[in-house]
Amino acid sequence: MFIRSIIPVRYRLALISGFLLLLLSVTVNAQSDKKFIRQGNREYGKNNYSESEISYRKAIDNNKQSPDAVFNIGDALYKQNKFEDASKQFVDNVNLNEDKNKKSASLYNLGNSLLQAKKIEESIEAYKNSLKLNPGSKEAKFNLAYAQDMLEQQKQEQQQQSQDQNKDNNKDDQQKQDDKSQEQKKDQNSKDQQDKQEQQGISKDDAQRLLNALANDEKNVQEKVKLAKAAKTKINTVKNW
């Protein structure tokens, strides 16, 4: 027994043609995706990295799930020294790819981008993950060793800077202590000198008071002499009547 379709023939034709149009649209988009990738590759080969980035992004506009376009954008950004942005593209590419070799390549490029961005520890992790997927990659092994050497050198430099800083701080503290000790020694010498003067004779204040007293006595003596002279002169000038 055959079950007859309840959809009129004209509608069935419309549905079929619509499906064919959908397939055609997907094919055209896929072709446009590859077209822009090829165009970007040509610009990339001419060292026109900003132009190649534009083409790759057009490919993404036509196929947002194109892992090749995402990967190539990362390469173009890397060549423009936009290492942070390149890192994000390679992370996206890892998530889009199912192929182990392509994932490994993305992780390798991620390591390079992170290393250029001075994120050494993160780059080491990226190289290790790349080698987990492709243990035979000589480039990943070499760059991993290079990054590990850089990290060790960085730690040594930081340790040396810390030691130098501590030396400078200790030197400043010692200088402050020496200055304080010198000041204390100066104050003690001054006090000792003052005590010595007091033991040998009168103090400075007492000496000043004595000089003032002597000056007053001398003044009194001079006054008395003047009065005596005046009295003598007066007696001599008295007339006898």
For residue 226, being part of any structural domain is answered with: no
Q: Do residues 122 and 154 touch, judged by C-beta distance below 8 A?
A: no
Q: Helices (H) and strands (E) in the chain — how many of each?
A: 8, 0
Residue that wins the pLDDT comparison between 185 and 37: 37
The Cα 115–Cα 150 span in angstroms is 10
For residue 184, being part of any structural domain is answered with: no
Q: How far is CA 69 from CA 111, 172, 221, in A?
A: 19, 59, 119
The Cα 179–Cα 167 span in angstroms is 18
Q: Is the pLDDT of residue 217 over 90?
A: no
For residue 156, being part of any structural domain is answered with: yes
Domain span at 51 = 39-162
pLDDT-derived band of residue 175, with 50, 70 and 90 as boundaries? Answer: confident
For residue 241, being part of any structural domain is answered with: no
Q: Do residues 124 and 147 touch, judged by C-beta distance below 8 A?
A: yes
For residue 121, being part of any structural domain is answered with: yes
**Which of 101, 111, 159 has the alpha carbon at shortest distance from 133?**
101
The Cα 164–Cα 128 span in angstroms is 34
The angle at the Cα of 28, spanning 23 to 33, to the nearest 5 degrees, equals: 125
Give the range among 47-61, 77-91, 116-130, 157-171 with minimum mean pLDDT.
157-171
Q: What is the CATH number of the domain that holds 68?
A: 1.25.40.10
For residue 188, being part of any structural domain is answered with: no
- Report the percentage of the chain scoring pLDDT > 90: 48
For residue 91, being part of any structural domain is answered with: yes
pTM of the model: 0.58
How many residues in total does the chain contain?
241
pLDDT-derived band of residue 39, with 50, 70 and 90 as boundaries? Answer: very high
Q: Which two tokens stand for residue 87?
A: 């890192």
Q: Domain count of the chain?
A: 1
For residue 43, being part of any structural domain is answered with: yes
